[in-house]
Structure 1
Amino acid sequence: MRTKVAIIGSGPSGLLLGQLLTGAGIDNVIVDRVGRDYILGRVRAGVLEEGTVGLIDQAKAGARMHAEGLPHEGFSLAFDGRDHRIDLSALTGGKKVMVYGQTEMTRDLIERREASGALTVYEAANVLPHDFDGLKPYLTYEKDGSTQRIDCDFIAGCDGFHGVSRKAVPERSMRTVEKIYPFGWLGILAEVPPVSHELIYANHARGFALCSMRSRHRSRYYIQCPLTERIDDWSDDRFWDELRRRLPAHHAEALLTAPSFEKSIAQLRSFVAEPMRFGRMFLVGDAAHIVPPTGAKGLNLAASDVHYLFSGLVEYYQDCSDAGIEVYSRLALARVWKAVRFSWWMTTVMHRFPDAGDFEQRIQEAELDYLTHSRAAATALAENYVGLSY
């Protein structure tokens, strides 16, 4: 088999890139080690920047998002028992974010790809990229008892943090930077209306809490917890009680509860691999970088990577120019590091660190006070939250 672009991974970044390429008349094949149902069963975040929304629209997969998604023009910082609203729209000239579950976005892209007739190979074992440092890269994988090969011009590694793409790069060719945070997020999903129509980020003496949602009837809640915690030790009642303690009184009283249908603990980390291009293979999304979920940047960074790579590939095939693919890594990483900085800053401001003393605590309180009394500080927060320009 031969194609122009071979894409490893059928998560949001791989699907988005594939559909944009298909729309531009650039042949591509997506290969994934898991199946369609497994991909659609994964529960992920869903606060989309305007740039991400625009790319989904460009891929002609945005109709349901606009019909069912929840546009948000602000969010609340909760501390000292009170809400302090950050008016995103007023501070950024009318920009907003869209709350739409990543699973739903993925479903829309899969359905659009299937309708377009573009090929996705699911349940492909032992996927491996080859010769990407030369002019004739290719993929191999095993399917139905035989080894298959896809020859291509370029390989896009959209296969996540644990995928094969980054692992295929020689260690001497890559630099990685990582920070592990000393706590995790215990999160649940429940079929209840959200406690507020906008997200609430809460800083409390007992730890951080986040009130989020996937729809008007499905809520996603998180609380900061030690990494030593075990899911089995957290009943639903214990979670709801702890969440109430960390919210302002009026939200605690209004909180509706129900049995959770998903519960997990996620460790927080920052990770960046540099560069993001290795000859004719490009790393995209979580294959190259991870950020804490505090600033809602993970999925949006993957989308911005797709933007830069898609633009470069279009320039290559339509204008016979290497300029766009030559600058892919530099442009993508410049935006990545700004988002890493923002996610680190927001995590630092909103969480209680186990080794923090009185000095660190007073600095955090001063920062929160400054954020809610300075338009300049609030504007910087809002600009980063809605997404910096590509």
Structure 2
Amino acid sequence: MRHQVCIVGAGPSGLLLGQILARAGIDAVILEARSAEHVLSRIRAGVLETGLVDQMRACGCGDRLDREGLVHHGFSMAFADRTHRIDLAGLTGGRSVVVYGQTEVTRDLMDARAEFGAATVYEAASVEIHDFDGVKPWVTYRKDGVTQVIDCDFVVGCDGFHGVSRASVPEAALTLYERIYGTAWLGLLADVPPADEELVYARHDRGFALASMRSHSRSRFYVQVPPTERVEDWSDQRFYDEFRRRLPEAVADRVVPGPSIEKSIAALRSFVAEPLRFGRLFLVGDAGHIVPPTGAKGLNLAASDVHYLATGLREFYEEQSSAGIDAYSARALARIWKAERFSWSMTAMMHLLPETGAFGARMQLAELDYIASSEVASAAIAENYVGLPY
């Protein structure tokens, strides 16, 4: 079979790219190793930058987001028995973020793709990418025991850190940058009201905590734990007790315990692969970069990748120009490294890391005190949090 673009991975970045291309009249097929149900079962972040919200609206997927998403004009940073609110709107000329779960983004994009009648193959096994260093790449996969072949102009890897796309690139062609933080987040999802109207990031001598939410009735709470911890060792009661210890008293008093829907542990890392283009193969999102979740940048970075690549592909097909796809890697990486810097700095400032020590702890508090006492410093946090321009 023949398609102009083959997208590997039906997470939000692959679906968003597919939706943008479909509306532009570009024929793109999506291959996904897992079932649609499995894709929708993934519990992920939910703080959306304006750039992603605008893309969802532009590709016809913004109606439910606009109805149900929670617009946040600020968030709080708690430390040393103090709480400092970062006034996103006031410090960035009225910009904000929207709290809307990644699962809901995925669902909206899936529904739109189905309505459009665009091709998605779920449970596509043994995907292999061939001849992407030439002008006629092709992709093979197995479905129901039969090997299928897709001829295409371009292949886009949206299949995550462990996917086949980056693994298909010769090691000599890649430069990898990585930071392992030696710590992790234990997250709990529950149908309980949020502990605060906005997100609260807490730096505590026992470790970091985050009071977040998905809606007015569903909350996502996190505590920092060693990466060797096991979920099964954390009862809901133990989690809530530890969570409340790390929050400001006024916020802790508003925590309503409830049975967990899901608990999971995620180790923190920063990772970037360079470049993001290899002939006719492009890497998007987690296939090319990972950020620790502290800055809420993972999904949003994938969306900016999609913006740059979709723009380049439209130029290729509509204007017969390769300028956009030629510039994709450099454009995307320029923004990626700024988001990596912000996520790294937020993580280092708010967490007790193996190397922190007594001096590092005092530096954290000094940095937080500076942010709380300086509008310029607060504005820098706000500018990065709402998202740098594409």
C-alpha deviations, 1:34-54, integer Å up to 9, x for none? 111111111110100000101
Distance 2:357 2:39 in 1: 43
Distance in 2 between residues matched to 1:256 and 1:358, nearest whole Å? 34
Q: Report Cα offsets for 1:81-136 as digits up to 9, x if no partner.
A: 22210000000000000000000010000000000010001111101111000010
Aligned to 1:187: 187
Correspondence for 1:80: 80
What is aligned with 2:284? 284
Q: Which residue of 1 is the match for residue 158 of structure 2?
A: 158
Q: Cα RMSD (Å) of the superposition?
A: 0.7
SS at 1:336 equivalent: helix
Contact 2:80/2:365, CA 8 A, preserved across alignment: no
CA–CA separation in structure 2 for the residues paired with 1:208 and 1:236: 18
User: Is 2:222 the partner of 1:209?
Assistant: no
**Which residue in 2 is equivalent to 1:383?**
383
1:303-334 per-position Cα deviation (integer Å, ceiling 9, x unaligned): 00000000000110111101000000000000
Residue 202 of structure 2 corresponds to residue 199 of structure 1: no
Residue identity in the other structure for 1:383: E
Between the aligned partners of 2:220 and 2:173, the Cα distance in structure 1 is 40
Identity of aligned residues (%): 63
Residue in 2 that maps onto 1:25: 25
Task: Please give the per-residue CA displacement for 1:209-249, whole angstroms capped at 9, x wherever unaligned.
Answer: 00000111000000001122111211111110001110111
Write the mapping of 1:227-376 to structure 2, written as runs, cut at 5 A: 227-376=227-376
The structural deviation recorded for 1:270 is 0.4
Give the C-alpha shift of residue 357 in structure 1.
2.5
Q: 2 CA distance for matches of 1:36 and 1:356?
A: 42
Task: Write the distance in 1 (CA, Å) between the matches of 2:354 and 2:127.
Answer: 41
Aligned length: 390
2: distance between equivalents of 1:353 and 1:301? 25
CA distance in 1, matches of 2:311, 2:229: 44
CA contact (8 A) 2:166 2:287 kept: yes
AA partner of residue 368 (structure 1): L
Give the secondary structure class of the aligned counterpart of 1:349.
helix
* Runs of 4 or more above 4 Å deviation: none
Contact 2:269 2:292 in 1 (8 A): yes
Give the Cα–Cα distance (whole angstroms) in 1 for the partners of residues 241 and 321 of structure 2.
59
TM-score (norm 2): 0.99
351-360 or 217-226: bigger deviation: 351-360
Q: Supply the distance in 1 between the matched residues of 2:145 and 2:228 (Cα, whole angstroms).
A: 42
In the TM superposition, what are the counterparts of 1:91-240 in structure 2 within 5 Å?
A: 91-240=91-240
* Unmatched runs of 5 consecutive residues or more in structure 1: none
Shift of 1:355: 3.2
For 2:15 and 2:32, the matched residues in 1 are separated by: 11
Shift of residue 144, structure 1, vs aligned partner = 1.7
**Partner amino acid for 1:382?**
A
Q: Which residue type is aligned with residue 58 of structure 2?
A: Q
What letter corresponds to residue 114 of structure 2 in structure 1? E
C-alpha distance in structure 2 between counterparts of 1:119 and 1:216, whole Å: 35
Corresponding residue of 2:60: 60
Q: Is the 8 A contact 2:139 2:151 kept in 1?
A: yes
Deviation larger for 138-147 or 283-292 = 138-147
Counterpart of 1:329, as a letter, is S
Output one character per residue of 1:14-33: Cα deviation in whole Å (capped at 9) or x when no partner. Answer: 00000000001111100111
Query: Do the aligned residues in 1 keep the contact of 2:33 with 2:122 (CA within 8 Å)?
Result: yes
Q: Amino acid of the residue matched to residue 17 of structure 1?
A: L
Query: Which residue of 1 is the match for residue 69 of structure 2?
Result: 69
**CA–CA distance in structure 2, aligned partners of residues 357 and 44 of structure 1:** 31
The aligned amino acid for 1:251 is: V
* In structure 2, distance between residues paired with 1:286 and 1:355: 27
Task: Please report how far the alpha carbon of residue 165 of structure 1 lies from its aligned counterpart in structure 2 after TM superposition.
Answer: 0.2
1:169 partner amino acid:
V
CA distance in 1, matches of 2:174, 2:354: 33
SS of residue in 2 equivalent to 1:114: helix
State how far apart, in whole Å, the 1-side matches of 2:120 and 2:39 are: 13
1:9-20 correspondence to structure 2 within 5 Å = 9-20=9-20
Q: Structure 1 CA distance, aligned partners of 2:166 and 2:317?
A: 25
